[in-house]
């Protein structure tokens, strides 16, 4: 099969969206702001994903599906909407984005990050740093503009070494599966365009002053989250290691785009326990309330409590 940059499968978009089960925001919003110490943190919208429920619920055992969805008021027949929350951090002279959004080529309901930045008074050339959680389209494809030029021309770009190596390895195209080949093609094209200028880092690295990389693998081989500051005066940028209310209640239930479902489940359980016990405010890329909230223990499970 010849795969070109225009080889973008409709089923691939729906499949990726299954990583963010039905999380319709409780309030329509494009910007949610929190202040932690000297940090100004904005959750800005790149739009949302839309996909059919058969993709969204595929990872939930059929025998449990109805009861589990009912707990969250989810209509199992409705089109699923999933928010895309890009974290913008401003401190001193640094303007930092965590992920670059979807860009113009993924889904028509996504790719709104440039407008969202304009709404908070930030021009793309003012972004000083872009830190990537992982290489899926809704996190990476906004790296380049309509003309295949870097959208953030002055920014230092940083991605975990394991993740960068996976998406730039030509063998990934042959091993990722036909329905996700467009993910590999799109990631390789974008990362190759900036390969000479992108910094790779390891688990535990202080990628910027006060920002520590935390390896949270499973959803992708080198998925990274970021601990910004402290639980008292900071925020934990989750990325996609948990993307759904179901994932909090049942960390063992992954999504159909988890690269390694067992590892993803172990990561979710361990990280949710850590975040609950340490009291971190969190931002999740696909979570409601602009993704800002806290992880609360609920017996042996967890729940997401959005900031009101």
Q: What are 233-281's pLDDT values in tens digits?
A: 999 999 999 998 999 999 999 888 899 999 999 999 999 999 999 999 9
Distance CA 227, CA 235 (A): 6
The confidence score (pLDDT) of residue 2 equals: 32
Domains and CATH numbers, the chain: 10-306 (3.60.15.10)
Return the C-alpha torsion angle 187, 14, 106, 84, nearest 10: -90
Low-confidence ranges of the chain (pLDDT < 70): 1-30, 37, 308
Q: Please enumerate in sequence order all residues whose Cβ is within 8 A of that of 186, keeping only pairs 6 or more positions apart, or say none.
A: 5, 8, 105, 106, 137, 140, 141
The confidence score (pLDDT) of residue 30 equals: 62
Distance CA 148, CA 183 (A): 17
Its pTM stands at 0.89
CA-based nearest residue to 107, from 24, 12, 32, 18: 12
What sections of 137-215 are H helices per DSSP?
Answer: 137-140, 161-168, 172-175, 181-193
């Amino acid at each position: 099969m010849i795969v070109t940059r225009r080889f973008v499968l409709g089923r691939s978009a729906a499949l990726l969206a299954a990583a963010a089960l039905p999380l319709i925001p409780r309030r329509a919003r494009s910007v949610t702001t929190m202040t932690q110490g000297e940090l100004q943190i904005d959750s800005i919208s790149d739009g949302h994903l839309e996909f059919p429920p058969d993709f969204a619920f595929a990872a939930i055992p059929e025998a449990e599906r109805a009861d589990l969805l009912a707990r969250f008021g989810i209509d199992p027949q409705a089109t699923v909407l999933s928010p895309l929350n890009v974290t913008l951090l401003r401190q001193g002279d640094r303007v930092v984005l965590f992920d670059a959004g979807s860009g113009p080529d993924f889904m028509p309901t996504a790719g709104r990050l440039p407008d969202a930045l304009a709404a908070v008074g930030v021009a793309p050339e003012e972004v000083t740093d872009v830190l990537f959680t992982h290489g899926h389209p809704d996190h990476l494809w906004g790296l380049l503009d309509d003309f295949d030029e870097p959208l953030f021309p002055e920014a230092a770009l940083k991605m975990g070494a394991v993740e960068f190596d996976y998406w730039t390895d030509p063998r990934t195209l042959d091993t990722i599966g036909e329905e996700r080949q467009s993910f590999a093609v799109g990631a390789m094209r974008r990362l190759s365009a900036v390969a000479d200028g992108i910094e790779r880092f390891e688990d535990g690295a202080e990628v910027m002053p006060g920002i520590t990389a935390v390896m949270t693998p499973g959803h992708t081989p080198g998925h990274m989250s970021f601990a910004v500051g402290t639980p008292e005066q900071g925020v934990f940028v989750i990325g996609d290691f948990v993307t759904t209310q179901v994932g909090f209640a049942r960390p063992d239930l992954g999504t159909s785009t988890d690269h390694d479902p067992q590892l993803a489940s172990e990561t979710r359980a361990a990280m949710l326990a850590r975040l609950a016990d340490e009291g971190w405010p969190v931002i999740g890329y696909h979570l409601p309330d602009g993704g800002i909230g806290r992880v609360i223990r609920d017996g042996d499970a967890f729940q997401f409590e959005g900031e009101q």
